[in-house]
Amino acid sequence: MSEPRLGVAIVTMGNRPKEVDALLEAVAKQDVQPSRIVVVGNGSPLPEFPGDVTVIELDDNLGCPGGRNVAISRLRAFGDVDVVIELDDDGLLVDADVFRTVQQLFASDPRLGIVGFRIADEYGETQRRHVPRLRAKDPMRRGLVTAFLGGGHAFAMRMLDEIGDWPADFFFCHEETDLAWRALDAGWKILYEPGLLLQHPKTSPARHAVYHRMTARNRVWLARRRLPYPLIPVYLGTWTLLTLARTRSLGGLRAWAGGFMEGVRTPCGPRRAMRWATVWRMTRLGRPPVI
């Protein structure tokens, strides 16, 4: 397979101008340059950026998946991008060979759909939640997985053309899981490559005011959309117990309960449950779709 052409997508709310400038500088220093760079202002105006950067300003904040879909759509329209690399606006590429490695990985395996980067803070520490497997002690363990990190990853455009783009209605939380499950069910591979480093500040998803509500709502939507019926109560029951054990805030639990009921009562989008063969494949990879 010839070396794929790369595109870069960055979505920002306009509140991190210094970080976006630093990220674009790091992109410019890569030893393989992308064909296209798209920066989306998610409900915010954007400044002019140096170099050949396509800027899209949205009137409304469409959420992370919605904003990324806009970037993917523009890259698809250009017609000269085979692999899209999506990077958080507060992330930073430390090494100059990240794009070359991404290019080589996709060139070597036509069924590779997603490559997940390793995320570490400025001290080199990777949070446990950023390792896409259950046994998360070693963030340097490379291999095929069932999930990927939203902060830094690469998609094969052929995969997106087959399975569809991000679930924009999720807005925030679990959109990566929905996309990963669709990719696996269509026979694509997900590779966690810890050699691809995105430096990112240490954060907690609970810093967002809508976290508890949306994480509950979207888990219910995810289960209703993607799981075989017998697994839906197992998956939701497991996460209910984990939430009760982990959440220390009464207000957070109330928001979570409200989001759970919202997920039950509201439309979740088209239902296309994964095959039982995919359930078995995920189990063999170390993470059955019940946790």
Q: Which residues of the chain, if any, have pLDDT below 70?
A: 1, 204-209
Expressed in angstroms, the distance from the first to the final Cα of the chain is 36
At 219, give phi and psi (nearest 5°).
-65, -40
**pLDDT for 194-241, tens place per residue?**
999 999 998 766 555 589 999 999 999 999 999 999 999 999 999 999
pLDDT of residue 1: 62
pLDDT of residue 2: 84
At 116, give phi and psi (nearest 5°).
-95, 135
pLDDT of residue 171: 96
Q: 236 in helix, strand or coil? A: helix
- The Cα 219–Cα 225 span in angstroms is 10
What's 29's DSSP letter?
T
pTM (two decimals): 0.96
Q: Which two tokens stand for residue 64?
A: 């992370």
Report, in angstroms and rounded to the nearest whole number, the Rg of the chain calculated over CA atoms.
Answer: 18
Q: Which CATH superfamily is domain 6-203 in?
A: Spore Coat Polysaccharide Biosynthesis Protein SpsA; Chain A (3.90.550.10)
